[in-house]
Amino acid sequence: MIPMWYLLHMKLLNRNTDYAIRAVSYMAGSRDKLVSVPELVKTLKIPKPFLRKILQILNREGVAKSYKGIGGGFKLVRPAEKIYVMDIINIFQGHLKLNECFLNKDLCPNRTKCPLKKRIEKIERFVVSEVGRITIKDLIGK
The span from the CA of 132 to the CA of 2, in Å, is 10
What's the rounded mean pLDDT across residues 25-36? 92
Q: List the domain boundaries for the chain.
A: 4-140
Confidence of residue 141 (pLDDT cuts 50, 70, 90): confident
**pLDDT interval class at 102 (50, 70, 90):** low
What is the CATH class of 4-140?
mainly alpha
Phi and psi at residue 126, to the nearest 5°: -65, -50
pLDDT at 119: 81
**Do 98 and 127 form a contact (C-beta atoms < 8 A)?**
yes
Cα dihedral: 133, 25, 46, 128 (round 10): 0
